[in-house]
Amino acid sequence: MTQTRPAPLSHADTEAYLHRIGERVRMLRSQRGMTRKALARHARVSERYLAQLEAGLGNCSIVLLRRIARSIGMPVTELVQEGASPSLDLVLLTQYLERLPPAALAEARNLLQQRFSARSEDQRRRIALIGLRGGGKSTLGRLLAERLDVPFIELDREIEKRSGATLSEIFDMFGQETFRRAEREALDDVLRAHPQFVMATSGSIVTDPGTLEVLLSSCFTVWVRARPEEHMQRVIDQGDMRPMAKSGRAMEDLMAILRSREQLYARAALSLSTTGKTPDQNLAELLHALAVPANRIKRKTG
């Protein structure tokens, strides 16, 4: 039996592939709010190499690895994945889903969520606020939790309690990967311990697909948003310039982060703009949007 060889990769195809990798690295870095210098430091590569990679001039070993994967007959992502090989059911399901057009894929995801996720009424007892820092999550979250008479949880503080270190220390000492793992573990702990709550999450929680999926399937998510200028002013007022610290292009960096995360934040069940409104106005709008029964709302005293 004659084995059909894959067609050789052209120079133009290789260049396009390297540019896609570079663009993907740059987008993922922006989503996480990391400067090129910070990523190079944590990845233990030179900043020059990272700049070349993002410019589509990656190391030739990437191309060689792609050729090997292509000759084997599998995507390069499967060749380099960490951990044990996926089950056959997962492989077949992935292959089936990849053949669906975008609209059908979204419908398939909704059907799977309806079948296997938490019940709608259970989700609505667990409200998670997502969005860029400076949108008003903590202020709104505290007010909402008080009116619903449920615990208010700041996931960042839960991470710090579990690790015994500040977020800055976790990032500086261990990097992005350790923080993402600590965030997921803290979220799992909160879900196990609390049947109902209002929770404010970090702005970057949506950048980890596994954590985002758990959040969307277990909680009623609300994207708390504001105009970029208002985000920036609130961050300045808080005296916290992460991740724009020491950057002369703070607004440009913030806009890049917001653009790279918008489609992730948009996965929330509800979107609420806090621009130009008082905290009490935002609370009233959110309570109305949530359609919370009157018997669940604690009377405001004073």
Q: Which domains are present in the chain? A: 11-79 (1.10.260.40), 112-296 (3.40.50.300)
User: What's the rounded Cα separation, in Å, for the pair 217 and 280?
Assistant: 29
Residue 194 region, left (φ>0) first, then alpha (ψ -120 to 50), else beta?
Answer: beta
Phi, psi values for residue 5, rounded to 5°: -85, 145
pLDDT on residue 243:
45
pLDDT digits (tens, 9 = 90+) for 85-140: 678 788 788 888 989 998 899 899 888 877 877 667 778 899 999 998 888 899 99
Cα angle: 259, vertex 109, 75; to 5 degrees: 75
- Could you tell me which residues are beta bridge partners of residue 271? 223
pLDDT on residue 149:
93
User: What's the rounded Cα separation, in Å, for the pair 26 and 22?
Assistant: 6
pLDDT digits (tens, 9 = 90+) for 140-188: 999 999 999 999 999 999 999 998 988 888 888 888 888 899 999 999 9
